Amino acid sequence: MVDIATRVWNHKWKIDPIVRSLIDTDFYKLLMCQSVFHNKPDTRVAFSLINRSKSVRLADLVDEGELREQLDNVRSLSLSRGESTFLRGNTFYGKRQMFRPDFMAWLEALRLPPYHLEKRDGQYELTFEGPWPEVMLWEVPALAILMELRSRAVMRDMGRFELQVLYARAMTKLWEKVERLRAHPGLTIADFGTRRRHSFLWQDWCVQAMMEGLGASFTGTSNCLIAMRREVEAIGTNAHELPMVYAALAETDEELAEAPYRVLADWHEEHEGNLRIILPDTYGTEGFLRRAPDWLAGWTGVRIDSGDPVVGAETAIKWWKERGEDPREKRVIFSDGLDVDTMIDLYEAFRERVRVSFGWGTLLTNDFRGLVKDDALAPFSLVCKAVSANGRPTVKLSDNPRKATGPLAEIERYKRVFGVGEQKPMDVTVFDGLGGAVFGGLGRRISCLSGRARGILPIALPAIQTG
Amino acid sequence: MVDIATRVWNHKWKIDPIVRSLIDTDFYKLLMCQSVFHNKPDTRVAFSLINRSKSVRLADLVDEGELREQLDNVRSLSLSRGESTFLRGNTFYGKRQMFRPDFMAWLEALRLPPYHLEKRDGQYELTFEGPWPEVMLWEVPALAILMELRSRAVMRDMGRFELQVLYARAMTKLWEKVERLRAHPGLTIADFGTRRRHSFLWQDWCVQAMMEGLGASFTGTSNCLIAMRREVEAIGTNAHELPMVYAALAETDEELAEAPYRVLADWHEEHEGNLRIILPDTYGTEGFLRRAPDWLAGWTGVRIDSGDPVVGAETAIKWWKERGEDPREKRVIFSDGLDVDTMIDLYEAFRERVRVSFGWGTLLTNDFRGLVKDDALAPFSLVCKAVSANGRPTVKLSDNPRKATGPLAEIERYKRVFGVGEQKPMDVTVFDGLGGAVFGGLGRRISCLSGRARGILPIALPAIQTG
């Protein structure tokens, strides 16, 4: 029977919204936002969209009017009563009232600040400027909107059954991954795929399929809206954004050297248990751990998000041992460029030495590789980063010099201050059939594992000029 | 928005019907029914279900109560006003008023006669007895019900996403066939898959996917209900049932020898053009054509439904030439055990010599091979045949002695009367991964083609005793 009222309601849609809620974002954004709200509320920042995959000419594919409509729609959103109740009332990481009343009152009143949009050389220049706690919440919706508008553009001329078969193929592809993963019952995974998802509906499907297919081995999703609706854990801790901005604010080299630890000292005060996860690679993992205060070795674990994941995990294990900690009590979260082979290899390599878990992103929620002509739906490497704080440029080094961002002179200064010597340049991988899109960290060679990665091509990514 | 009225309506369902219309049947059944209604209205026949795939223990899988509910539901159906309008008003094969008023009046009043159901050795014995024009309409719904109840039984314990992925895989599988077929634009296909379909909804999906994917190369469906709803041609002519019953009614050997031609003489009076398609294999193709009257060579084409399809087509071509006909003006319809490779091979082999077309059945609407554990959804070989007419057993020989049916003594008599000598036994094929189900004619070796058929095992099928 046709539900006439629903059809008539649908007629009235101005747009089919991509981001339909302020909490359609990653949980760690809200945790970090609360931390920033309390510790650095007056910092002014600029965030900027960077498409590392130059071959995907977004401004040619995506209509500017549609993009503006979607961005404007996000600016019209505010926290709903139910969303507020969820954030106030839910247990996150075993803790009630994770979000404090003053932060919640601020969040309930929040509307996102304006954006600045221009076209240049077939790409969009999209920037956000304003108070840090406001601007930072643009990152995830901005990325999700551009990813999904690109998907919609590619699918616009497809037939109805062609579309159904496209999704049938994508479902089959994901399910085959689930079937392989569940042969390793101790391998636990969370969805980290919000920002580069194919679409909201697809991410929601992927989460539900993981829930059914993996059962308790699926530990939750980074997406707060989906976590709320599907009644699973919201997962996440903190990201590079914090040390990058803290570092940019440093007045002296000494303050700069201390900045990453000040971030974690603020975090330490606020959080315990599984929320105490170190992200050590912003300015080089090895130096960071070498100079770390002892209290940091007491934290629950590390997240490995760049460089060779085996080297990263080994470095952390060695460090824990040196500080008298038992690595078997520690958690290592891998979250960089994962797919099934990598996860199984890493799990088997480390399962008896540490507590292993995975934050699976792009190749969970956007593995449309090989499904349409010219691989036009393959995921691509889009990021939205803090580029300045109180007028000073931010810098990121990571464990791969090809992923460094910031003005070259500042990069040299940071390398000196953080004692980063010669880093080994790592290939940034282009997948088979990816049609030239460049991935920041996906599928890199894993040095001492079985090395199932195929079709590795070296792509030199220049440091991005932001000064 | 929940459509409450629909949900409440759904609560009231006693069953989820498999056959939801009297015209959810093959078009040729209705054409033959009209012919029988006019020429042999008083003949009493018995039809019987025969599961050639003994390994599929239907009575263990399918609940008897559910089976009775579905069969009872068919007995409750009568032609709806819209269905009657369609049959009266539609143009079939370019002809208006294909169904005459007296037949339509009878059909509008029809309810299907009782059935007789028993369990034996893990199988259902299902028989129908009564006037030929009524009983014959049980064949297709009875088969479709048993096929779909078996599908439902296998899928009962599957999870929601597991089910979605199952259909995703089946859709992908069919679409890959469509993509291969449309590389051969002249290759025209009709859906002949009603009787052994996975389910009604799946057949309906397959037809729509073929419409979008093949365009004009998809010529229609044998299913009248789907043809009506999707506004495509209803396709079909006549079947073995007619010569089998005519032959059983013969009083003498001379009448028996004439029976297959009497069938076609009755048909010739009623139909022209593309409905004049000879089905020559009931008692051996070669002898049938050799003894055929000249007017039959003027018919539009032949349908090849058993034996080696290349031999069958070559036999017809040779016969047309002998009778002074130009084979390039004739149509050859292949309809036995087709899949993509076979169709492409046959099309390429004959496209310049005759007009080739295909009636694609089981592997269009039920190719769930390899999709679940133990291949429990693989199609199997279920038939429902006329076993007697006015108390006399029917006999079928076909072009493969392993497919012969009827009492052995009668088979010998028919072979003598029709001059059928030693026939070459053909393997009845078991597909890869079919889990032991036996196919009547699917995937047999094609002697002079590229022979892509794999995993051929000889299975001896004894003649079925019906006397």
Indicate the pLDDT class of residue B440, thresholds 50, 70 and 90: very low
DSSP A178-210: HHHHTTSTT-EEEE--STT-S-HHHHHHHHHHH
Percentage of chain A surpassing pLDDT 90?
83
Nearest to A291 by CA among A243, A250, A258, A247: A258
**Does A5 lie at the interface with B, CB-CB under 8 angstroms?**
yes
pLDDT at position A427: 60
* A6 with B5: Cβ contact below 8 A: no
Residues 6+ positions from A3 with CB-CB distance below 8 Å: B1, B3, B6
Distance CA B125, CA A260 (A): 78
Asked if pLDDT for residue B406 goes beyond 90, the answer is yes
Percentage of chain B surpassing pLDDT 90?
83
β-bridge partners, A117? A126
Give me the amino acid identity at A435: G
Tell me what the mean pLDDT of segment B43-65 comes to: 96
Give me the amino acid identity at A451: G
pLDDT in tens, A245-299: 999 999 999 999 999 999 999 999 989 888 999 999 999 999 999 999 999 999 9
* CA trace torsion B71, B72, B75, B77 (10° rounding): -100
* A164 with B172: Cβ contact below 8 A: no
Q: Which residue has the tokens 């440029």?
A: A393
Distance CA B20, CA B224 (A): 12
- Of A60-74, B224-238, B327-341, B422-436, the one with minimum mean pLDDT is B422-436
The larger pLDDT score, comparing residue A438 to residue B35, is at: B35
Closest residue on chain B to A371 (Cα): B172
Closest residue on chain B to A4 (Cα): B3
Q: Using CB atoms within 10 A of its CB, is residue B273 exposed (0-12), middle (13-18) or buried (19+)? A: exposed
Which residue intervals of A215-252 are DSSP H helices? 224-230, 241-249
Mean pLDDT across chain A? 90
The larger pLDDT score, comparing residue A284 to residue B426, is at: A284
Distance CA B16, CA B379 (A): 22
pLDDT in tens, A342-374: 999 999 999 999 999 999 999 999 999 999 999
Tell me what the mean pLDDT of segment A317-322 comes to: 98
Q: Do A36 and A136 form a contact (C-beta atoms < 8 A)?
A: yes
DSSP B401: G
Selecting from B9, B165, B213 the residue whose C-beta is nearest the C-beta of A172 gives B165
pLDDT at position B399: 87
DSSP A449: S
Number of CB pairs < 8 Å for A and B?
56
Chain A nearest CA to B270, separation (Å): 39
* B159 with A6: Cβ contact below 8 A: no
**Does B172 lie at the interface with A, CB-CB under 8 angstroms?**
yes
Residues of A in contact with B161 (CB under 8 A): 175, 208-209, 212-213
Residues of A in contact with B162 (CB under 8 A): 175, 212-213
Give me the amino acid identity at B309: P
How many Cβ atoms are within 10 Å of B346's Cβ, its own excluded? 22
Asked if pLDDT for residue A379 goes beyond 50, the answer is yes
Distance CA A258, CA B323 (A): 100
pLDDT at position B466: 36
Nearest to B278 by CA among B293, A74, B5, A458: B293
Selecting from A6, A160, A165 the residue whose C-beta is nearest the C-beta of B175 gives A165
Q: Which residue has the tokens 């992925």?
A: B165
First to last CA, chain A: 60
Distance CA B467, CA B461 (A): 17
* B175 with A168: Cβ contact below 8 A: yes
pLDDT at position A197: 98
Closest residue on chain B to A1 (Cα): B6
Asked if pLDDT for residue A448 goes beyond 70, the answer is no
Asked if pLDDT for residue A105 goes beyond 50, the answer is yes
* B1 with A1: Cβ contact below 8 A: no
Tell me what the mean pLDDT of segment B44-52 comes to: 96
The SS3 call for residue B393 is strand
pLDDT at position B403: 79
The SS3 call for residue B381 is coil
Asked if pLDDT for residue A26 goes beyond 90, the answer is yes
**Does B165 lie at the interface with A, CB-CB under 8 angstroms?**
yes
Nearest to A95 by CA among A253, A219, A272: A272
Contacts by A314-319, CB closer than 8 A, 24 or more apart? A315/A285, A315/A286, A315/A289, A316/A280, A316/A285, A316/A289, A316/A354, A317/A353, A317/A354, A319/A289, A319/A290, A319/A292
The larger pLDDT score, comparing residue A385 to residue B6, is at: A385
Distance CA B147, CA B307 (A): 25
Kind plus residue range of the DSSP H or E element containing B384: strand B382-389
Asked if pLDDT for residue A422 goes beyond 80, the answer is no
pLDDT in tens, B300-319: 999 999 999 999 999 999 99
Give me the amino acid identity at B164: Q
Nearest to A184 by CA among A343, A367, A361: A343
Q: Output the six-digit token pair for B235.
A: 């396709």
pLDDT at position B462: 33
Residues of B in contact with A172 (CB under 8 A): 165, 168-169, 172
Residue B81 phi/psi, 5° resolution?
Answer: -60, -40
**Does B212 lie at the interface with A, CB-CB under 8 angstroms?**
yes
Q: Output the six-digit token pair for B398.
A: 């076909």
Residues 6+ positions from A148 with CB-CB distance below 8 Å: A18, A197, A198, A199, A200
- Of A214-228, B60-74, B433-447, the one with minimum mean pLDDT is B433-447
The larger pLDDT score, comparing residue A435 to residue A279, is at: A279
Percentage of chain A surpassing pLDDT 70?
91
Asked if pLDDT for residue A458 goes beyond 60, the answer is no
The SS3 call for residue A358 is strand
Asked if pLDDT for residue A51 goes beyond 70, the answer is yes
**Does B9 lie at the interface with A, CB-CB under 8 angstroms?**
yes
Q: Do A107 and A15 form a contact (C-beta atoms < 8 A)?
A: no
Mean pLDDT across chain B? 90
Distance CA A156, CA A376 (A): 12
The 3-state secondary structure of A370-416 reads CCCHHHCCCCCCEEEEEEEECCEECCECCCCHHHCECCHHHHHHHHH
pLDDT in tens, B105-157: 999 999 999 999 999 999 999 999 999 999 999 999 999 999 999 999 999 99
Asked if pLDDT for residue A392 goes beyond 50, the answer is yes
Residues 6+ positions from B138 with CB-CB distance below 8 Å: B47, B74, B112, B113, B115, B128, B384
Q: Do B194 and B204 form a contact (C-beta atoms < 8 A)?
A: no
pLDDT at position B71: 98
How many Cβ atoms are within 10 Å of A336's Cβ, its own excluded? 25
Q: What CA–CA distances, in Å, run from B201 to A352, A407, B36, B55, B157?
A: 49, 61, 31, 26, 19
pLDDT in tens, B270-292: 898 889 999 999 999 999 999 99
Asked if pLDDT for residue A438 goes beyond 70, the answer is no
Residue A45 C-alpha from the chain's centroid: 19
Residues 6+ positions from B191 with CB-CB distance below 8 Å: B203, B206, B207, B210, B218, B220, B221, B222, B223, B226, B235, B359, B360, B364, B365
Asked if pLDDT for residue B459 goes beyond 90, the answer is no
pLDDT at position B146: 98
Which of A161, A167, A174 would you mutate first to test chain B, the one with the most B CBs within 10 A?
A: A161
Residue A306 phi/psi, 5° resolution?
Answer: -160, 170
Which residue intervals of A271-407 are DSSP H helices? 285-290, 294-297, 309-322, 340-350, 362-365
Distance CA B212, CA A393 (A): 54
Tell me what the mean pLDDT of segment B330-343 comes to: 97
pLDDT at position B427: 60
* B213 with A1: Cβ contact below 8 A: no
Residue A360 phi/psi, 5° resolution?
Answer: -95, 125
Per residue in A396-428, is it b (16+ CB within 10 Å) or e — as a string?
A: bbbbbbbbbbbbeebbeebbebbebeebeebbb
Q: Output the six-digit token pair for A216.
A: 């308790």
Q: Output the six-digit token pair for B315.
A: 């036999």
**Does A201 lie at the interface with B, CB-CB under 8 angstroms?**
no
Nearest to A278 by CA among A199, A196, A355, A333: A333
pLDDT in tens, B165-219: 999 999 999 999 999 999 999 999 999 999 999 999 999 999 999 999 999 999 9
Distance CA A265, CA A298 (A): 12
